[in-house]
Amino acid sequence: MRCPRCVQTIHRSAAQCPHCGFVLSDLDDLYGSGEVRLRRLSDMAGALRLKERQKLERLLDEFQTSFPQLFFSVYYGALEDRANIRQFGLWLLNHAAYEDLDISRPNDGGILLLVDLNTKVASISFGYMLDSFLTEEDTFNILAKAHPHLLQGNHLKAASVIVKQLSRVLRKKSRRAILQQKIFGPPINQSSGAVNALERIRSNRSNRSAAEQDNFKSIQTTRAVNKEKEP
């Protein structure tokens, strides 16, 4: 993972960032140490209309059907400090108590899309269960595809692109991992939790509908050239 403060690569289990000295409890000092009661889709900032919220909720349901241990959550806020969106995202995913999610989906298997309406900057945070399947490069590329829609204030379109692209990456990576496992045997350094998640991802990938595949194609062909994502 990358350090949420200095953005250098650090080991996920590192207690402290070797580059800038960041520790997770620094975030508690900034934002608080308690739980945050949250819904999977939080739109404090009023980014979406009712119909758009319903549409996005359906997309998030589809994501959960495809990935039974994972969930996707979206938070629209009007943050005060642009520089802190990455830190705030990580803190929020660690402290959120989701009212509308079953305990069978722990935050470790969560993906959080955080959108700051003040700066039109978005950030994706994810739990450690996703470490085997997602890289910072993946989330950067996915955010880049949604960036033009964010700039236009089309938040439903931006979130839809992100959920669908992310699902696509997860499916692709899980297929590759399963194939490697079949040929070479299970990787020694992979935790059993990750392998289980992977098995579940694989067993549900047939849920993808033809319509969804068409969507992927159209997204690919309209790939954004603007690579700017976040500070």
Residues forming contacts to Zn ion in the complex (CB under 5 A) are 3, 5-6, 17, 19-20, 22
Q: Taking the complex as a whole, how short is the minimal distance between the CB of residue 219 and Zn ion, in angstroms? A: 33
Nearer to Zn ion, 23 or 44 (CB): 23
Q: Taking the complex as a whole, how short is the minimal distance between the CB of residue 124 and Zn ion, in angstroms? A: 19
Q: Taking the complex as a whole, how short is the minimal distance between the CB of residue 36 and Zn ion, in angstroms? A: 24
Collect all residues with Cβ–Cβ distance below 8 Å to 214 and sequence separation of at least 6: none
Separation of alpha carbons 123 and 78, rounded Å: 13
- Smallest CA-to-CA distance from 160 within 63, 79, 78, 94 is with 63
- Smallest CA-to-CA distance from 24 within 112, 82, 75, 94 is with 94
Nearer to Zn ion, 69 or 125 (CB): 125
Separation of alpha carbons 187 and 199, rounded Å: 14
Angle at 75 between CA 217 and CA 45, to 5 degrees: 115
Nearer to Zn ion, 83 or 151 (CB): 83
Separation of alpha carbons 170 and 192, rounded Å: 18
Q: Taking the complex as a whole, how short is the minimal distance between the CB of residue 14 and Zn ion, in angstroms? A: 10
Q: Taking the complex as a whole, how short is the minimal distance between the CB of residue 30 and Zn ion, in angstroms? A: 15
Torsions phi, psi for 24 (to 5 deg): -55, -35
Alpha-helix residue ranges (DSSP H) falling in the chain: 24-31, 50-66, 85-95, 136-151, 155-184, 192-203, 210-221
Nearer to Zn ion, 6 or 78 (CB): 6
The residue written with tokens 């039109």 in the block is 120
Q: In this structure, what token pair is assigned to residue 3?
A: 């350090």
Q: Taking the complex as a whole, how short is the minimal distance between the CB of residue 189 and Zn ion, in angstroms? A: 24
Nearer to Zn ion, 4 or 109 (CB): 4
Nearer to Zn ion, 5 or 149 (CB): 5
